[in-house]
Structure 1
Amino acid sequence: MVAAFSTISRTGIPFPKSEYELRQRKVFEAMARAELDALMVTALGHLRYLTGYDGRGVYFAPFPLILVPGRVPTYVVREYEVQAVCANSCIDEIVPYTQEHDFANVCANVLKSYGLQRRRIGLELGCWNLAPADVNALQAQLPDLTIVDATRVVASVAAVKSKLELEVMRDAMAMTDLAIRTFQEALRDGITEVEMGATIEAEVRKAGGEVRPNYTLVFGDRTKLPHGGAMDHPIRKNEPAMAEIGAAKHGYIAGLVRSAVLGQHPETESIHDLAVEALEAAVAAIKPGLTAAAVDAASRGVIERSGRLQVFRHRTGYQSGIHWSERGSLSLEPGVDDLLQVDMTLHMPIILFSESGYLFGSSEHVVVTEHGVEILSHTPHTLYRA
């Protein structure tokens, strides 16, 4: 049974409903190109992109948004969360389920009511928040259903930002720049990572922003740890420090990597010089119509010409926007033939491994423009020396 909850006040939707309707229309167009009769969206970032709801209640079982051409979107959600979903999303048609084991049966009933039990349905098989057990349970309910991998359908639309989204990304980056400046200005002998993190968060909150949780902040030998969180560890003279921080607005995160040295540290300074050269090559290469692989090749070529092939152990970058990064989004790596388009936003963290294992580097967050890029950050990507 489909219930309408349009009378609930929509207190938590950051954009006008027309913005979400435009996004949904573009997804319907992408569905037509993929020859899908329906799409079940389950990735949290994609749900937030299409509805406004941030997914904080989605830990029990998926909350699929069912998109069918010619029908209004239908949201299948846990009954406990119905009022929250209504208040914080643009969706009027909501179907509740109560227990986890009800999920597949309720979804199947919705699809059957729309005459889709023998049609081609797209599922985001390569994204977070959809378990194999969910897929198997749905298929058991509808054995004649044709399930198609639609991992890239919403991601391909969300890659290109609207004017409203770009404004939000710029606002988020202003807070990220503040976080980075605080990191640089507060760096001194004896300050711990925890103390630094508290200082950064306080300054950003004071300015009305928020920092994405679980950011990277590491000093000294702890810069050898990928994605290291802040601990009660002090920095000393002649040690390195690195931060990868993203401030957020409406779920849109503008990430940035910046590195510093307190005094001198030749090993990390050397690897940082190479990272900056590779980063600048990638930024210079970007233009509409170029493949993602070609941008990766620009940065990777710098590394290869240096002869230090083992220092680069990941991709050049990725599509950014809602959430830090969603599985299935555009990736700047070898072999990816997706074409860059105007108003795509990309984060390119070039973090390299030194000879003894330090991770050190820099990044830029950019918007693809008609003639190249707009760099969102106003903090230089060169090494900061304290």
Structure 2
Amino acid sequence: MTTTSSAVPTIGLPFPRTEYERRQQRVFEAMERANLDALLVTAHGHLQYLGGYNGRGAYFMPFPLILVPGREPTFVVREYELGSVRLESCVEEIVTYREQFDFAPVCAAAVRRFGLRGRRIGLELGCWDLAPADVSALQAQLPDMKFADATRLVATVAAVKTEMELEAMRFAMEMTDMAVRTFQHSLRDGITEAEVAANIDREVEKAGGVLRASSTTLLFGERTKLSHGSPKQHPIRNNEPAFMELAGIKHGYACGLVRSAVLGRHAETEFLHDLSVEVLEAVIAAIKPGATAGEVDAAGREVLKRHGHPEFLNHRVGYQTGINWGERGNISLEPGALDILEPNMTLHMPIILRGESGYLIGTSEHVMVTERGAEILSRTPHTLHRAS
């Protein structure tokens, strides 16, 4: 076991150290409300939010960030990743382990150093990156401590963005908008998904941006019946639809959009898109401080009920965004959800409808909750693009 408390180089941090300290303090306040004496943060997005390190090396075993109010945090990481963690994290106290069998005893020893015997410790049980075997091993090492599920704690804090976070997201959205415009301008008979994707990458790179590669879906024609799909050497033909979902990214903050197009005419997908716009606008109108996530979801479904097609939407209407697009345990705009919306939360609402023939067509917006409602971050209309 190795511990370091030397000054950490901050060249790899995208935000000032004070920004991370402010976030940690908000988590401490949430821990007090949840009656937790300690918290082990293991979700990659939450690690990046609270300490800067993006968690890439934590595929092997968890990299818990141990948070105890009034104490400096401790990071438990693989020794192999120590250099990267030092460079990319603002956490000074770092404890290392070497192999998988070392993780539980080393982590337990680090927890015991805080004098938490008989205390209540939160684990992110509903997030990625913490396996049941990890939990069992920690419980065996710490039989005198009480474990509680703290899945939603960091997510709820991180849902409300600071000005620095919003600045990063606005830049990310500029790159997303550029990608959308390139997608629209590229459409012509015979061009392939892969060629359009290459055009998008080139234009975004020229502007000094990047896209979140793992979230890109680009589909033409019959392939728009797929729920997700990376671009292939598949051409679009006249009177076929096109669908894309992608996100610009800055400092780990992604701003995604869904946009659809038709080369020529395609009656079924045009009908689906018109309906998706009506649903989306109802969802956006329902977003305001004090509304619940479930109420926002219900506003969109009510539109489909009025049209007699509730079955067209088979997923939630939206979700919390920020660091790590797909973090499990984040706020979800789904039926019955009780999370309360607050100003400066950011949300993505992809309204993608499945028609009777299986086409998946729709649109989305990425918004910030304001005191009065919702601010749309994109500058490209969510109408159907018609190419010829």
Q: TM-score band (shorter)?
A: over 0.9
What does 1:10-29 align with in structure 2 at a 5 Å threshold?
10-29=10-29
> Equivalent residue for 2:274?
273
How many residue pairs are counted as aligned between the two chains? 386
> Equivalent residue for 1:290?
291
Q: How far apart are the structure 2 equivalents of 1:166 and 1:241?
A: 30
Q: How far apart are the structure 1 equivalents of 2:256 and 2:15?
A: 22
Contact preservation (8 Å) 2:14, 2:251: yes
Secondary structure of the residue aligned to 2:69 is: coil
> Equivalent residue for 2:179?
179
Secondary structure of the residue aligned to 2:262 is: strand
Q: How far apart are the structure 2 equivalents of 1:50 and 1:139?
A: 25
TM-score, structure 2 as length reference: 0.98
> Equivalent residue for 2:77?
77
Q: Deviations along 1:152-185, whole A, 9 cap, x unmatched?
A: 0000100000011011110100000000000000
Deviation at 1:145, TM superposition (A): 2.1
Deviation at 1:118, TM superposition (A): 2.4
Secondary structure of the residue aligned to 1:151 is: coil
Contact preservation (8 Å) 2:193, 2:231: yes
Deviation at 1:321, TM superposition (A): 0.4
Q: How far apart are the structure 1 equivalents of 2:86 and 2:5?
A: 7
> Equivalent residue for 2:58?
58
Q: Structure 1 residue runs of 4+, over 4 Å off?
A: none
What does 1:186-265 align with in structure 2 at a 5 Å threshold?
186-214=186-214, 215-265=216-266
Secondary structure of the residue aligned to 1:247 is: strand
TM-score, structure 1 as length reference: 0.98
Secondary structure of the residue aligned to 2:111 is: helix
Q: How far apart are the structure 1 equivalents of 2:264 and 2:5?
A: 60
Secondary structure of the residue aligned to 1:82 is: helix
Q: After superposing the two structures, state which structure 1 stretch, 136-145 or 121-130, moved more.
A: 136-145
> Equivalent residue for 2:36?
36
Q: Deviations along 1:254-283, whole A, 9 cap, x unmatched?
A: 000000000000000000000000000011
Q: How far apart are the structure 2 equivalents of 1:282 and 1:365?
A: 12
> Equivalent residue for 2:139?
139
Q: How far apart are the structure 2 equivalents of 1:76 and 1:323?
A: 21
Contact preservation (8 Å) 1:123, 1:151: yes
Aligned-residue CA RMSD in angstroms? 1.0
What does 1:133-172 align with in structure 2 at a 5 Å threshold?
133-172=133-172
Q: How far apart are the structure 2 equivalents of 1:28 and 1:12?
A: 25
> Equivalent residue for 2:316?
315
Secondary structure of the residue aligned to 1:57 is: helix
Q: How far apart are the structure 2 equivalents of 1:309 and 1:288?
A: 27
Paired AA for residue 73 in structure 1: P
Unaligned 5+ segments in structure 2 are none
Q: How far apart are the structure 2 equivalents of 1:59 and 1:371?
A: 42
Paired AA for residue 243 in structure 2: M
Contact preservation (8 Å) 1:5, 1:86: no
Paired AA for residue 71 in structure 1: R
Q: Deviations along 1:80-108, whole A, 9 cap, x unmatched?
A: 11111011011000000111111111011
Contact preservation (8 Å) 2:293, 2:339: yes
Deviation at 1:5, TM superposition (A): 4.7
Q: Deviations along 1:121-142, whole A, 9 cap, x unmatched?
A: 1000000011001001111111
Percent of matched pairs sharing the same residue: 65
Unaligned 5+ segments in structure 1 are none
> Equivalent residue for 1:376?
377
Q: How far apart are the structure 2 equivalents of 1:311 and 1:245?
A: 22
Paired AA for residue 322 in structure 1: I
Deviation at 1:8, TM superposition (A): 4.2
Deviation at 1:354, TM superposition (A): 0.8
Secondary structure of the residue aligned to 2:59 is: coil
Contact preservation (8 Å) 1:2, 1:93: no
